[in-house]
Structure 1
Protein backbone atom coordinates (compact mmCIF):
# COMPACT_ATOMS: atom_id res chain seq x y z
CA UNK A 1 0.00 0.00 0.00
CA UNK A 2 1.41 3.39 -1.01
CA UNK A 3 1.74 6.30 1.39
CA UNK A 4 -1.25 8.17 -0.03
CA UNK A 5 -3.39 5.05 0.30
CA UNK A 6 -2.27 4.66 3.91
CA UNK A 7 -3.19 8.28 4.62
CA UNK A 8 -6.60 7.87 2.97
CA UNK A 9 -7.27 4.71 5.00
CA UNK A 10 -6.32 6.44 8.25
CA UNK A 11 -8.55 9.42 7.41
CA UNK A 12 -11.44 7.01 6.77
CA UNK A 13 -10.84 5.43 10.19
CA UNK A 14 -10.83 8.87 11.77
CA UNK A 15 -14.11 9.70 10.03
CA UNK A 16 -15.77 6.55 11.35
CA UNK A 17 -14.90 7.59 14.90
CA UNK A 18 -16.27 11.14 14.48
CA UNK A 19 -20.01 11.07 13.60
CA UNK A 20 -20.18 14.89 13.56
CA UNK A 21 -16.92 15.28 11.64
CA UNK A 22 -13.35 16.25 12.32
CA UNK A 23 -10.69 18.82 11.53
CA UNK A 24 -7.04 17.85 11.26
CA UNK A 25 -4.14 20.23 10.82
CA UNK A 26 -0.87 18.40 10.19
CA UNK A 27 2.52 19.92 10.98
CA UNK A 28 1.68 23.54 11.80
CA UNK A 29 4.52 25.89 10.92
CA UNK A 30 4.26 29.68 11.00
CA UNK A 31 0.58 29.34 11.99
CA UNK A 32 -0.34 27.30 8.91
CA UNK A 33 -0.49 23.49 8.57
CA UNK A 34 1.33 21.53 5.91
CA UNK A 35 -1.97 19.77 5.24
CA UNK A 36 -5.52 20.29 6.45
CA UNK A 37 -8.45 17.89 6.31
CA UNK A 38 -11.92 18.58 7.66
CA UNK A 39 -15.36 16.97 7.48
CA UNK A 40 -17.38 19.26 9.76
CA UNK A 41 -20.69 20.67 8.55
CA UNK A 42 -19.81 23.32 5.92
CA UNK A 43 -22.22 25.74 7.62
CA UNK A 44 -20.11 25.57 10.79
CA UNK A 45 -16.86 25.95 8.89
CA UNK A 46 -18.23 28.99 7.04
CA UNK A 47 -19.34 30.54 10.34
CA UNK A 48 -16.01 29.66 11.99
CA UNK A 49 -13.96 31.15 9.14
CA UNK A 50 -16.11 34.25 8.79
CA UNK A 51 -15.59 35.04 12.49
CA UNK A 52 -11.83 34.25 12.46
CA UNK A 53 -12.35 31.76 15.28
CA UNK A 54 -9.07 29.92 14.60
CA UNK A 55 -7.29 32.79 16.38
CA UNK A 56 -9.57 32.48 19.42
CA UNK A 57 -10.44 28.77 19.60
CA UNK A 58 -9.78 27.23 23.05
CA UNK A 59 -9.24 23.84 21.41
CA UNK A 60 -6.41 25.16 19.22
CA UNK A 61 -4.95 27.05 22.18
CA UNK A 62 -4.96 23.81 24.20
CA UNK A 63 -3.39 21.90 21.30
CA UNK A 64 -0.57 24.41 21.01
CA UNK A 65 0.12 24.35 24.74
CA UNK A 66 -0.17 20.59 25.35
CA UNK A 67 0.58 17.21 23.83
CA UNK A 68 -1.87 14.37 24.31
CA UNK A 69 -5.63 14.11 24.21
CA UNK A 70 -8.48 15.73 26.12
CA UNK A 71 -12.23 16.00 25.88
CA UNK A 72 -13.47 19.44 24.93
CA UNK A 73 -15.42 19.54 28.20
CA UNK A 74 -12.14 19.24 30.12
CA UNK A 75 -10.45 22.19 28.40
CA UNK A 76 -10.18 24.81 31.13
CA UNK A 77 -9.38 27.88 29.04
CA UNK A 78 -11.27 31.15 28.55
CA UNK A 79 -13.78 31.16 25.71
CA UNK A 80 -14.99 34.78 25.65
CA UNK A 81 -16.47 34.39 22.17
CA UNK A 82 -18.52 31.33 23.17
CA UNK A 83 -17.05 29.24 20.36
CA UNK A 84 -17.69 25.91 22.09
CA UNK A 85 -21.34 26.76 22.74
CA UNK A 86 -21.79 27.88 19.15
CA UNK A 87 -20.19 24.65 17.93
CA UNK A 88 -22.83 22.71 19.88
CA UNK A 89 -25.56 24.68 18.09
CA UNK A 90 -24.11 23.36 14.80
CA UNK A 91 -24.20 19.74 16.00
CA UNK A 92 -20.73 19.56 17.56
CA UNK A 93 -21.88 18.97 21.11
CA UNK A 94 -19.07 16.74 22.34
CA UNK A 95 -15.52 16.49 21.18
CA UNK A 96 -11.95 15.48 21.72
CA UNK A 97 -8.72 17.30 20.90
CA UNK A 98 -5.50 15.45 20.09
CA UNK A 99 -2.15 17.23 19.81
CA UNK A 100 1.27 15.76 19.02
CA UNK A 101 4.68 16.63 17.66
CA UNK A 102 7.15 19.41 18.47
CA UNK A 103 5.78 22.93 18.74
CA UNK A 104 7.52 23.88 15.49
CA UNK A 105 5.62 21.12 13.62
CA UNK A 106 2.57 20.52 15.80
CA UNK A 107 -0.35 18.40 14.62
CA UNK A 108 -3.77 19.22 16.10
CA UNK A 109 -7.01 17.31 15.55
CA UNK A 110 -10.54 17.97 16.75
CA UNK A 111 -13.24 15.31 16.45
CA UNK A 112 -16.91 15.73 17.30
CA UNK A 113 -20.13 13.90 17.94
CA UNK A 114 -23.51 15.15 19.16
CA UNK A 115 -24.91 12.27 21.20
CA UNK A 116 -22.44 11.67 24.06
CA UNK A 117 -18.87 12.12 25.25
CA UNK A 118 -16.13 10.09 23.59
CA UNK A 119 -15.17 7.16 25.82
CA UNK A 120 -11.59 6.31 26.82
CA UNK A 121 -11.29 3.50 24.28
CA UNK A 122 -12.37 5.78 21.44
CA UNK A 123 -9.96 8.49 22.55
CA UNK A 124 -7.14 5.94 22.62
CA UNK A 125 -7.99 4.77 19.09
CA UNK A 126 -8.25 8.36 17.81
CA UNK A 127 -4.91 9.28 19.38
CA UNK A 128 -3.23 6.31 17.70
CA UNK A 129 -4.62 7.29 14.29
CA UNK A 130 -3.58 10.94 14.66
CA UNK A 131 -0.07 9.88 15.70
CA UNK A 132 0.19 7.64 12.64
CA UNK A 133 -1.03 10.43 10.35
CA UNK A 134 1.51 12.78 11.93
CA UNK A 135 4.26 10.25 11.22
CA UNK A 136 3.11 9.36 7.68
CA UNK A 137 2.94 13.01 6.63
CA UNK A 138 6.18 14.20 8.18
CA UNK A 139 7.62 16.84 5.84
CA UNK A 140 10.96 15.99 4.25
CA UNK A 141 14.15 17.40 5.69
CA UNK A 142 15.83 17.29 2.30
CA UNK A 143 15.24 17.09 -1.44
CA UNK A 144 17.79 15.69 -3.83
CA UNK A 145 19.91 18.29 -5.66
CA UNK A 146 18.09 17.32 -8.88
CA UNK A 147 14.67 17.90 -7.26
CA UNK A 148 15.77 21.25 -5.81
CA UNK A 149 17.11 22.37 -9.19
CA UNK A 150 13.90 21.36 -10.94
CA UNK A 151 11.75 23.31 -8.48
CA UNK A 152 14.10 26.31 -8.61
CA UNK A 153 14.00 26.74 -12.40
CA UNK A 154 10.21 26.73 -12.35
CA UNK A 155 10.21 29.05 -9.31
CA UNK A 156 12.43 31.39 -11.34
CA UNK A 157 9.73 31.60 -13.99
CA UNK A 158 11.05 29.20 -16.63
CA UNK A 159 8.59 27.08 -18.57
CA UNK A 160 9.28 23.34 -18.84
CA UNK A 161 11.21 23.54 -22.11
CA UNK A 162 13.35 26.49 -20.99
CA UNK A 163 13.92 24.98 -17.54
CA UNK A 164 14.99 21.66 -19.04
CA UNK A 165 17.37 23.41 -21.43
CA UNK A 166 18.83 25.42 -18.56
CA UNK A 167 19.55 22.21 -16.64
CA UNK A 168 20.76 20.33 -19.72
CA UNK A 169 18.13 17.60 -19.40
CA UNK A 170 15.06 16.53 -21.34
CA UNK A 171 11.66 18.02 -20.61
CA UNK A 172 10.39 14.60 -19.51
CA UNK A 173 13.31 14.30 -17.06
CA UNK A 174 12.44 17.71 -15.60
CA UNK A 175 8.81 16.70 -15.20
CA UNK A 176 9.85 13.44 -13.52
CA UNK A 177 11.95 15.38 -10.99
CA UNK A 178 9.06 17.72 -10.29
CA UNK A 179 6.74 14.74 -9.78
CA UNK A 180 9.00 13.17 -7.15
CA UNK A 181 9.42 16.55 -5.42
CA UNK A 182 5.62 17.02 -5.32
CA UNK A 183 5.26 13.56 -3.79
CA UNK A 184 7.78 14.26 -1.03
CA UNK A 185 6.12 17.59 -0.27
CA UNK A 186 2.54 16.24 -0.39
CA UNK A 187 1.77 18.87 -3.01
CA UNK A 188 -0.90 18.57 -5.70
CA UNK A 189 0.70 21.16 -7.97
CA UNK A 190 4.21 22.33 -8.72
CA UNK A 191 3.34 25.81 -7.44
CA UNK A 192 2.26 24.28 -4.12
CA UNK A 193 5.47 22.21 -4.02
CA UNK A 194 7.57 25.33 -4.61
CA UNK A 195 5.83 27.20 -1.79
CA UNK A 196 6.23 24.30 0.63
CA UNK A 197 9.88 23.86 -0.33
CA UNK A 198 10.41 27.55 0.42
CA UNK A 199 8.49 27.28 3.71
CA UNK A 200 10.74 24.43 4.80
CA UNK A 201 13.86 26.19 3.47
CA UNK A 202 14.57 23.37 1.03
CA UNK A 203 15.08 25.78 -1.86
Structure 2
Protein backbone atom coordinates (compact mmCIF):
# COMPACT_ATOMS: atom_id res chain seq x y z
CA UNK A 1 0.00 0.00 0.00
CA UNK A 2 2.82 2.41 0.87
CA UNK A 3 4.24 2.27 -2.66
CA UNK A 4 0.87 3.22 -4.18
CA UNK A 5 0.44 6.12 -1.77
CA UNK A 6 3.96 7.34 -2.60
CA UNK A 7 3.12 7.23 -6.31
CA UNK A 8 -0.09 9.12 -5.60
CA UNK A 9 1.79 11.74 -3.60
CA UNK A 10 4.16 12.29 -6.54
CA UNK A 11 1.15 12.90 -8.81
CA UNK A 12 -0.57 15.26 -6.39
CA UNK A 13 1.48 18.33 -5.45
CA UNK A 14 -1.71 19.88 -4.05
CA UNK A 15 -2.50 16.79 -1.99
CA UNK A 16 -4.72 13.77 -2.30
CA UNK A 17 -7.52 11.95 -0.56
CA UNK A 18 -8.04 8.20 -0.60
CA UNK A 19 -11.12 6.51 0.84
CA UNK A 20 -10.68 2.76 0.39
CA UNK A 21 -13.55 0.25 0.60
CA UNK A 22 -16.22 2.76 1.61
CA UNK A 23 -19.10 0.84 3.17
CA UNK A 24 -22.12 2.40 4.81
CA UNK A 25 -20.49 5.85 4.36
CA UNK A 26 -17.38 4.76 6.28
CA UNK A 27 -14.07 3.82 4.63
CA UNK A 28 -11.99 0.88 5.73
CA UNK A 29 -8.92 3.07 5.17
CA UNK A 30 -8.82 6.86 4.79
CA UNK A 31 -5.88 9.15 4.15
CA UNK A 32 -5.75 12.79 3.10
CA UNK A 33 -2.76 15.04 2.43
CA UNK A 34 -4.82 18.05 1.36
CA UNK A 35 -3.97 21.28 3.23
CA UNK A 36 -4.84 20.95 6.92
CA UNK A 37 -7.03 24.08 6.86
CA UNK A 38 -9.10 22.52 4.06
CA UNK A 39 -9.36 19.19 5.87
CA UNK A 40 -10.59 20.96 9.01
CA UNK A 41 -13.15 23.06 7.10
CA UNK A 42 -14.27 19.97 5.17
CA UNK A 43 -14.80 17.97 8.37
CA UNK A 44 -16.40 20.83 10.33
CA UNK A 45 -18.99 21.38 7.58
CA UNK A 46 -19.47 17.67 6.83
CA UNK A 47 -18.70 18.32 3.16
CA UNK A 48 -18.33 14.60 2.48
CA UNK A 49 -22.14 14.53 2.38
CA UNK A 50 -22.22 17.55 0.01
CA UNK A 51 -19.15 17.11 -2.18
CA UNK A 52 -19.81 16.65 -5.93
CA UNK A 53 -16.61 14.58 -6.19
CA UNK A 54 -17.95 12.11 -3.63
CA UNK A 55 -21.35 12.00 -5.37
CA UNK A 56 -19.62 11.28 -8.67
CA UNK A 57 -17.45 8.59 -7.09
CA UNK A 58 -20.40 6.87 -5.45
CA UNK A 59 -22.53 6.93 -8.60
CA UNK A 60 -19.89 6.07 -11.21
CA UNK A 61 -16.65 4.18 -11.67
CA UNK A 62 -13.72 5.34 -13.77
CA UNK A 63 -11.66 8.50 -13.71
CA UNK A 64 -12.56 12.12 -14.44
CA UNK A 65 -11.11 15.62 -14.11
CA UNK A 66 -12.83 17.80 -11.54
CA UNK A 67 -13.65 20.34 -14.26
CA UNK A 68 -15.60 17.68 -16.19
CA UNK A 69 -17.99 16.81 -13.35
CA UNK A 70 -21.39 18.32 -14.10
CA UNK A 71 -23.17 17.83 -10.79
CA UNK A 72 -24.85 20.49 -8.65
CA UNK A 73 -22.69 22.09 -5.97
CA UNK A 74 -25.20 24.11 -3.93
CA UNK A 75 -22.82 24.42 -0.98
CA UNK A 76 -19.94 25.70 -3.14
CA UNK A 77 -17.58 22.94 -2.04
CA UNK A 78 -15.46 23.18 -5.19
CA UNK A 79 -15.11 26.98 -4.94
CA UNK A 80 -14.08 26.67 -1.30
CA UNK A 81 -11.56 23.97 -2.24
CA UNK A 82 -10.09 26.34 -4.85
CA UNK A 83 -9.69 28.96 -2.10
CA UNK A 84 -7.33 26.46 -0.45
CA UNK A 85 -5.23 25.96 -3.59
CA UNK A 86 -7.15 22.91 -4.83
CA UNK A 87 -7.75 24.31 -8.31
CA UNK A 88 -7.22 21.41 -10.69
CA UNK A 89 -7.80 17.81 -9.88
CA UNK A 90 -9.01 14.38 -10.82
CA UNK A 91 -10.97 11.65 -9.09
CA UNK A 92 -11.01 7.89 -9.64
CA UNK A 93 -13.62 5.47 -8.39
CA UNK A 94 -13.65 1.67 -8.45
CA UNK A 95 -15.26 -1.32 -6.79
CA UNK A 96 -18.81 -2.40 -6.15
CA UNK A 97 -21.30 0.16 -4.88
CA UNK A 98 -21.29 -1.74 -1.58
CA UNK A 99 -17.51 -1.34 -1.20
CA UNK A 100 -16.33 1.63 -3.24
CA UNK A 101 -12.85 3.16 -3.37
CA UNK A 102 -12.61 6.87 -4.25
CA UNK A 103 -9.26 8.60 -4.75
CA UNK A 104 -8.84 12.28 -5.57
CA UNK A 105 -5.73 14.30 -6.34
CA UNK A 106 -5.00 17.97 -6.89
CA UNK A 107 -2.57 20.52 -8.23
CA UNK A 108 -2.77 24.28 -8.65
CA UNK A 109 -0.93 24.85 -11.94
CA UNK A 110 -2.70 22.86 -14.70
CA UNK A 111 -5.19 20.15 -15.61
CA UNK A 112 -4.05 16.55 -15.35
CA UNK A 113 -3.12 14.91 -18.66
CA UNK A 114 -4.50 11.59 -19.88
CA UNK A 115 -1.43 9.59 -18.81
CA UNK A 116 -1.67 10.98 -15.26
CA UNK A 117 -5.38 10.17 -15.21
CA UNK A 118 -4.64 6.57 -16.22
CA UNK A 119 -2.02 6.36 -13.48
CA UNK A 120 -4.55 7.63 -10.90
CA UNK A 121 -7.03 5.00 -12.05
CA UNK A 122 -4.39 2.26 -11.75
CA UNK A 123 -3.45 3.45 -8.23
CA UNK A 124 -7.10 3.45 -7.12
CA UNK A 125 -7.55 -0.09 -8.48
CA UNK A 126 -4.38 -1.26 -6.73
CA UNK A 127 -5.34 0.31 -3.39
CA UNK A 128 -8.76 -1.31 -3.67
CA UNK A 129 -7.27 -4.71 -4.41
CA UNK A 130 -4.50 -4.77 -1.79
CA UNK A 131 -6.92 -3.80 0.97
CA UNK A 132 -9.68 -6.20 -0.03
CA UNK A 133 -11.12 -7.47 3.26
CA UNK A 134 -11.09 -11.25 3.60
CA UNK A 135 -14.48 -12.89 3.37
CA UNK A 136 -13.47 -16.44 4.12
CA UNK A 137 -12.87 -16.44 7.89
CA UNK A 138 -14.93 -19.15 9.49
CA UNK A 139 -17.23 -18.33 12.42
CA UNK A 140 -14.83 -20.32 14.64
CA UNK A 141 -11.90 -18.11 13.56
CA UNK A 142 -13.89 -14.95 14.22
CA UNK A 143 -14.92 -16.23 17.66
CA UNK A 144 -11.30 -17.04 18.54
CA UNK A 145 -10.26 -13.48 17.65
CA UNK A 146 -13.19 -12.05 19.61
CA UNK A 147 -12.09 -13.89 22.74
CA UNK A 148 -8.48 -12.73 22.35
CA UNK A 149 -9.78 -9.21 21.78
CA UNK A 150 -11.77 -9.43 25.02
CA UNK A 151 -8.56 -10.27 26.90
CA UNK A 152 -8.95 -14.05 27.26
CA UNK A 153 -5.69 -15.97 27.60
CA UNK A 154 -5.34 -19.07 25.42
CA UNK A 155 -6.25 -21.50 28.22
CA UNK A 156 -9.36 -19.55 29.22
CA UNK A 157 -10.43 -19.00 25.61
CA UNK A 158 -10.06 -22.70 24.84
CA UNK A 159 -12.15 -23.58 27.92
CA UNK A 160 -14.79 -21.04 26.86
CA UNK A 161 -15.03 -22.72 23.45
CA UNK A 162 -14.83 -26.25 24.86
CA UNK A 163 -11.69 -27.15 22.90
CA UNK A 164 -8.10 -27.93 23.85
CA UNK A 165 -5.54 -25.16 24.13
CA UNK A 166 -3.57 -26.65 21.23
CA UNK A 167 -6.74 -26.63 19.08
CA UNK A 168 -7.29 -22.98 20.02
CA UNK A 169 -3.70 -22.10 19.09
CA UNK A 170 -4.12 -23.95 15.77
CA UNK A 171 -7.29 -21.93 15.11
CA UNK A 172 -5.43 -18.67 15.77
CA UNK A 173 -2.57 -19.81 13.53
CA UNK A 174 -4.99 -20.56 10.68
CA UNK A 175 -6.64 -17.16 11.22
CA UNK A 176 -3.28 -15.35 11.05
CA UNK A 177 -2.42 -17.23 7.87
CA UNK A 178 -5.75 -16.43 6.23
CA UNK A 179 -5.41 -12.72 7.10
CA UNK A 180 -1.75 -12.58 6.13
CA UNK A 181 -0.84 -11.41 9.64
CA UNK A 182 2.44 -12.19 11.37
CA UNK A 183 1.09 -11.98 14.92
CA UNK A 184 -2.23 -12.51 16.65
CA UNK A 185 -2.23 -8.82 17.63
CA UNK A 186 -1.89 -7.88 13.97
CA UNK A 187 -4.66 -10.33 13.02
CA UNK A 188 -6.89 -8.80 15.69
CA UNK A 189 -6.18 -5.27 14.43
CA UNK A 190 -6.91 -6.31 10.84
CA UNK A 191 -10.14 -8.06 11.82
CA UNK A 192 -11.29 -4.89 13.57
CA UNK A 193 -10.33 -2.72 10.59
CA UNK A 194 -12.18 -5.09 8.26
CA UNK A 195 -15.14 -5.00 10.68
CA UNK A 196 -15.10 -8.77 11.03
CA UNK A 197 -15.36 -8.47 14.82
More moved, 37-46 vs 104-113: 37-46
Instruction: Name the structure 1 match of 2:111.
Output: 117
Q: SS of the residue aligned with 2:194?
A: helix
What TM-score results when the alignment is normalised by the length of structure 1?
Answer: 0.81
Query: Does the Cα contact within 8 Å between 1:27 and 1:134 map onto a contact in 2?
Result: yes
Alignment map for 1:1-150 (pairs within 5 Å)? 7-144=1-138, 147-150=141-144
Unaligned residue ranges in structure 1 (runs of 5+): 1-6
Distance 1:125 1:15 in 2: 12
Distance 1:89 1:41 in 2: 11
Q: SS of the residue aligned with 1:141?
A: coil
Number of aligned residue pairs: give it: 190
More moved, 174-183 vs 124-133: 174-183
More moved, 175-184 vs 84-93: 175-184
**How far does residue 12 in structure 1 lie from its aligned partner after superposition?**
0.6
Query: Does the Cα contact within 8 Å between 2:86 and 2:108 map onto a contact in 1?
Result: yes
Instruction: Name the structure 2 match of 1:160.
Output: 153
Instruction: Name the structure 2 match of 1:190.
Output: 188
Query: Does the Cα contact within 8 Å between 1:147 and 1:180 map onto a contact in 2?
Result: no
**How far does residue 29 in structure 1 lie from its aligned partner after superposition?**
0.9
Q: SS of the residue aligned with 1:134?
A: helix
CA spacing shift, 1:194–1:81, aligned 2, 3 Å: same
Q: SS of the residue aligned with 1:79?
A: coil
Two-structure CA RMSD over aligned residues (Å) = 2.7
**How far does residue 159 in structure 1 lie from its aligned partner after superposition?**
2.5
CA spacing shift, 1:188–1:39, aligned 2, 3 Å: farther
**How far does residue 145 in structure 1 lie from its aligned partner after superposition?**
5.2
Query: Does the Cα contact within 8 Å between 2:28 and 2:193 map onto a contact in 1?
Result: no
